[in-house]
Amino acid sequence: MHDSPTPGAHSMNDPAQSATGSGVPAPPDDLNLGVGGGDFFKIGREFFGIFTGPGGLEPQHRVLDVGCGCGRMAIPLIPYLQGQGGYWGFDIVPAAIEWSRENIAARYPRFHFEVADIFNKVYNPGGRCQSNEFRFPHEDGFFDFTFLTSVFTHMLAPDMEHYLAEISRTLKPNGRCVISAFLLNEESRALLAAGASSITFDHPFPDCVVCSREMPEAAVAYDESFLVDRMTHHGLQLVGPVRHGAWPVRKNFLSYQDILIATKQ
């Protein structure tokens, strides 16, 4: 959906550029800003490395992109997915889905994009469905691999809990998921208290902390142990350690946000 850029990333919306030689252009600036801005193709390649590295994504996998935006994560997968492999994405921003259909799905039939008319105060205030009522438009056990890049960073706890249940429902046994989030632990809380981070979480909400009381879904953080517990509750077992991100101004990090990788038990 809406991922924050890698620290130091810069805008590169040159229509002649492509991440893979696929001929897909960069989206308009307003759509790129809607997914966090920054170097559109570079960030897609960064996550492609996470998906295919520690994430375990393989070319023959069926992939679900929850909150796909304008295809930033889809484009690097164009030359990678083969055989039975395919990509399905949904997002709450109709303009992003329309652009992705015209520029990606129209050229590459194994890629599919769908609008989810879900209410969100920031990104879709006219949405007709609540997140905690939305059923992913796919059958049980359909996917080998699911990822959410900066989706839980914009969801309050009841909605996050429901999405975990839907991720588990639609994943095959032993399927993998990759989730990015803002996680609060001893280290990140200390960095926040020291004023190191440009983003702060000062307003407690049920089972989470938000950046803005007036617009809580603008940025949401979860206690690390709480989120891992809820994943486990829904049959998603953490694989390896949490890969902590740069957002609270860490010196060692994998990406901007924290990364959790899990497998369905």
Q: What's the average model confidence in pLDDT over 55-73?
A: 97
- Stretch (H or E) spanning 236: strand 236-238
| Alpha-helical segments (H) within 13-142 | 29-34, 40-52, 94-100
- In this structure, is residue 113 part of a structural domain? yes
Q: Helix (H, G, I), strand (E, B), or coil: what is residue 201?
A: coil
Identify the residue with better confidence: 31 or 228.
228
**Quick one: pLDDT at residue 125?**
83
Is 11 among the domain residues?
no
**Range of lowest pLDDT (85-89, 123-127, 200-204):** 123-127
In whole angstroms, what is the distance from residue 164 CA to residue 194 CA?
32
Quick one: pLDDT at residue 47?
97
Q: Please report the pLDDT score of residue 9 as a whole number.
A: 35
Asked whether residue 174 is assigned to any structural domain, the reply reads: yes
pLDDT, position 254: 95
**Residue 183 clears pLDDT 60, i.e. is over it:** yes
Range of 148's domain?
Answer: 29-264
Domain count of the fold of the chain: 1
Query: Considering the chain, what percentage of its residues have pLDDT values greater than 90?
Result: 82
Q: Kindly state whether residue 14 falls inside one of the protein's structural domains.
A: no
Torsion angle, CA of 213/214/215/217, rounded to 10 degrees? Answer: 30
pLDDT at 55 over 70: yes
E strands in 185-235: 203-205, 208-210, 220-223
Rounded distance, CA 254 to CA 138, Å? 31
- Cα–Cα distances in angstroms (integers) from residue 149 to residues 2, 16, 108, in the given order: 7, 25, 22
Q: Is the Cβ–Cβ distance between 231 and 171 less than 8 Å?
A: no
Is 56 a member of any domain?
Answer: yes
The answer to whether residue 42 is domain-embedded is yes
Residue 8 — very low, low, confident or very high, per pLDDT cuts 50/70/90?
A: very low
- Judge whether 234 lies within some domain: yes
Reported as a single tens digit per residue, the pLDDT across 97-124 is: 999 999 999 999 999 999 999 987 767 7
What is residue 36's predicted lDDT score, i.e. its pLDDT? 80
Query: 85 versus 38: which is more confidently predicted?
Result: 85
* pLDDT at site 21: 54
Q: What is the CATH number of the domain that holds 132?
A: 3.40.50.150
Whether 111 is in a domain gets the answer yes
Q: How big is the chain, counted in residues?
A: 265
Between 251 and 122, residue with greater pLDDT? 251
User: Band of the pLDDT at 198, cuts 50, 70, 90?
Assistant: confident
